[in-house]
């Protein structure tokens, strides 16, 4: 895992206008913050806004959110 989850929050109005239902903030090894937006998609979810490695690192967090356990 190259990033760690540091925050999960509701989207701002601008993020919500882009389709986000939740926003995750992750931090990479260099201390840079990475923002990932996500939303429900049928019985699953979709996420966007970051590079593939950060999105992969975020799968467990977005799974918990989608299942209502976050």
Residue 11, C-beta contacts closer than 8 angstroms, at least 6 positions apart: 20, 21, 22, 23, 37
Beta partners for residue 23, in sequence order: 9, 37
Nearest Cα neighbor of 14 from 51, 49, 46, 54 is 49
Below-70 pLDDT ranges, the chain: 70
Nearest Cα neighbor of 49 from 11, 2, 6, 1 is 11
What percentage of residues in the chain have a pLDDT greater than 90? 91
Task: Return the domain boundaries, the chain.
Answer: 3-66
Contact between 5 and 55 (Cβ < 8 Å): no
Q: What is the pLDDT of residue 69?
A: 79
Q: What is the pLDDT of residue 70?
A: 64
pTM to 2 decimals? 0.93
């Amino acid at each position: 895992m190259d990033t760690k989850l540091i925050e999960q929050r509701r989207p701002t109005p601008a993020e919500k206008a882009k389709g986000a239902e939740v926003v995750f903030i992750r931090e990479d090894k260099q201390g840079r913050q990475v923002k990932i937006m996500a939303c429900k998609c049928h019985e699953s979810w979709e996420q966007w806004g970051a590079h593939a490695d950060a999105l992969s690192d975020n799968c467990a967090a977005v799974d918990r959110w989608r299942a209502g356990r976050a």
